[in-house]
Structure 1
Amino acid sequence: MLLEINPDNPQPRLIKQVVDALRHGAVICYPTDTVYGIGCDIFNQKAVKRIYQIKQRPLSKPFSFICADLKDVSTYAHVSNTGYRVMRKCLPGPYTFVMVATKLVPKIMMTRQKTVGIRVPEHQICMDLVHGLGNPILTTSATPDDPDFPMLIHAHEVEERYGKQVDIIIDSGPLAHSAPSTVIALEDDELIVLRPGKGKLEDLGL
């Protein structure tokens, strides 16, 4: 189902419709501040496994998830003082931070090293969905893991590829300057760039 939602002022009725669907195990496609994402409630293991199948991804390679804010991040990951200072400067924004998970994170969302990737996108629809649901939403790019595949920036492109595999596709208009997030590992007081992306490294002090 294609659902048109205003990206600047998301309609509460439509956000509630998507949140209710997520609570019942829906898999959705939605816009972020980087690319179109595929997601679900991280605590619904059946929905998480559906996304593994959609993305044809091994269970040994966990997905990242979206938190509502920096305080929410600290609920699901152990954040060092350095990590807190860095994230406070650049979140919300186009970054994924890899940190050690807390016990609240489902095992299916962790690496063998007990780490997780966490985002706080600068996109009102994402934030409204996470706040409405009350817990994080899984996030992975809707664009296939193929460097030669063009970024999916229109909802109709996402619908053409995933229309029969997902429950809801949110259309908020085309994404501008679509690019993946910058991935940063926060190991104690050290920052390691795992993947350059849309997030500017100078904003991290690197």
Structure 2
Amino acid sequence: MATYFEVHPDNPQPRSIRQVVDVVRAGGLIAYPTDSCFALGCQMGNTASLERIRDIRKLDPSHHFTLVCRDFAQLGQLVKITNSMFRLIKAATPGPYTFVLPATRDVPRRLMHPRKRTVGVRIPDHRVAQALLAELGEPMLSSTLLLPGEDDPMTNGQQIKQRLEHEIDAVIDSGDCGTEPTTVVDLSQDEPQIVRVGAGDPSRFE
């Protein structure tokens, strides 16, 4: 049964944040708010929770998971970035963008695209998400909370708890968050490719 945590959107209570992170460290799967929409999150190396996300969302093996980072230093440890791409990403972060880039050896192979060896990374501009990442001390594996057959991601914490009561371990709710997934930009080639238009303005990459 999922534990429900209600936290302040601007000043998230440290005790609640610690309790949620304890769930993550114990191998749990959480739903948490970001600057784009709610996401499912777990520890980067947790295979069991990764499979739980696949099952909840009915994802195929080639799906790009996202590693959510606290800052650019964390992001830079996970992906290979050229100087030109560095400037593009730096100007757009933190924000509602996911960048697809070649993964470094620090990324478990099961999280990479099976053929391209790429992975998605992002830095959210959301105080609760940032508080979780700061307490965890490492990137978190995430996926948009978009359920099979639905056109839009889930945006209400209470509804998420009711719908996924027995499939996740915790819901952290700070009220309204974004209603659109991130804009996804593939930077693994010479020129940026817009994979999905979402909450972030794609024009800076066109």
1:60, distance to aligned residue in structure 2 (A):
3.1
For residues 66-89 of structure 1, the C-alpha deviation after alignment (integer angstroms, 9 at most, x for no partner) is 011111111000011111101111
SS in 1 for 2:172: strand
Deviation of the 1:175 alpha carbon: 2.3
2:186 is aligned with 1:185: yes
- Cα shift at 1:59: 3.0
Instruction: List 4+ stretches of structure 1 deviating above 6 A.
Output: none
Following superposition of structure 1 onto structure 2, how do residues 35-74 of structure 1 map, counting pairs within 5 Å? 35-74=37-76
SS across alignment from 1:40:
strand
CA-CA distance at 1:28 after TM superposition? 0.1
Structure 2, unmatched stretches of 5+, are none
Question: 1: CA distance between counterparts of 2:188 and 2:32?
Answer: 30
Q: Distance in 2 between matches of 1:72 and 1:79?
A: 13
Q: 1:12-50 deviations in whole A, cap 9, x for unaligned? A: 111111111111101000001111111101111122122
Amino acid of the structure 1 residue aligned with 2:30: I
Q: What percentage of residue pairs aligned between the two structures are identical?
A: 34
Please tell me the residue identity of whatever aligns with 2:184: V
Matches within 5 A, 1:52-201: 52-112=54-114, 113-146=116-149, 149-176=151-178, 178-201=179-202
Q: Aligned pairs, how many?
A: 203
Give the Cα separation in 2 of the matches to 1:62 and 1:149. 19
Equivalent pair of 1:80/1:189 in contact (CA under 8 Å): no
Structure 1 unaligned spans of 5+ = none
1:81/1:189 contact within 8 Å kept: no
Give SS of 2:17's match: helix
CA deviation digits over 1:157-202, x for unaligned, max 9?
A: 21122111100001111225x1111000113542111111110123
1:6 matched residue in structure 2:
8
8 Å Cα contact 2:5-2:171 kept in structure 1: yes
Q: What secondary structure does 1:187 align onto?
A: coil
Given that 2:57 and 2:146 are in contact with CA atoms closer than 8 Å, whether structure 1 keeps it comes out as no
Give the TM-score normalised by the residue count of structure 2: 0.92
SS of match in other structure, 1:190:
coil
CA RMSD after TM alignment: 1.5
